[in-house]
Amino acid sequence: MSTERAILLVVHPRRPDAAGLAAEVVARLTASGVRVSLDPLSADILDATTRSLVHPAQLPDPAAGCELVLVLGGDGTILRGAEWSRSAHVPLLGVNLGHVGFLAETEREHAHATIDRILDREYSITERMTLDVVAHVDGREVARSFALNEATVEKAARERMLELTVEIDGRPISTWGCDGVVMATPTGSTAYAFSAGGPVIWPDVEAMLVVPISAHALFARPLVLSPHSELAVDIVAGTEGHGALWCDGRRAVDLPTGARVEVCRGSHPVLLARLEQQPFTDRLVEKFGLSVHGWRGPRAPGAT
């Protein structure tokens, strides 16, 4: 059995600073005896020297046999890396090169220290709940996917609303004329669902979140569901609007009237590598730039 260590590297394909950092990361890992594979979208931004040190990822499961998926980029790139890490059931670690970077574990200025921690295997692993998503048209399955952040059913044409009926555990709860509906995990509660007016859910709370988008209805508040609930959204047959299903803003399929989308807790979580046990409250304050001026709580040991 091979004892060679292997890491899949996923890099933002269009950020100039990502290419330079990737070259440094590849040089450091390979010099330490770690095999680095590269996802297909990342290869074009690397220089010839760096490309000579890496191995092309083996599709369709490029993270197979790797101990870690290392992502250099923002939340969008991390969501791309999550597709590979989930299928191989290996942890994901993101170095933020974007703006908010809520899914990232560390920032660009700490990248070298992060590589030290990876080489020494000084990280813990946590599970993040996902959603399994299936779309049907006329009783026929047309798409099957998953979401780490959210699945959304959205209108496809700006000038027309969607008429959606939401079903929970086999029973209808409401029909909305709306721009769409967001179905999110706790991880995704700080993403699209938050922008649509949903609450923030702490990651260790197991729940599903339903948030209507611009709904014309009296009962159109966000709903927090049991993680064991079975959720469905029907585009009401006979209406003019048609829509689209998006998973994590990356994978899409068109939905005609009469289409049905079924969502439940994912059968497989996404594993995240953690370097520090930072409280989620601190991460929320840091990433959203929240004011905590006036707080008079306990001080950290040694603080003045």
Q: Where are the domains of the chain?
A: 5-128+270-288, 131-265
pTM for the predicted model, two decimal places:
0.92
Q: Average of pLDDT values for 176-196?
A: 96
Q: What is the pLDDT of residues 213-226, one digit of tens each?
A: 999 888 899 999 99
Burial of 157 (0-12, 13-18, 19+ CB in 10 A): exposed
Q: What is the pLDDT of residues 231-273, one digit of tens each?
A: 999 999 877 778 999 999 999 999 999 999 999 999 999 999 9
As a CATH number, domain 5-128+270-288 is: 3.40.50.10330
- Give the whole-angstrom CA distance, residue 126 versus residue 227: 18
Give the active site residue among 17, 44, 75, 204. 75
- The topology under which CATH files domain 131-265 is Tumour Suppressor Smad4 (2.60.200)
Classified as helix, coil or strand, 193 is helix
Matching fold, domains 5-128+270-288 and 131-265 = no
Q: Is 75 a catalytic residue?
A: yes
Q: Average of pLDDT values for 114-130?
A: 96
More confident residue, 156 or 207: 207
pLDDT of residue 72: 95
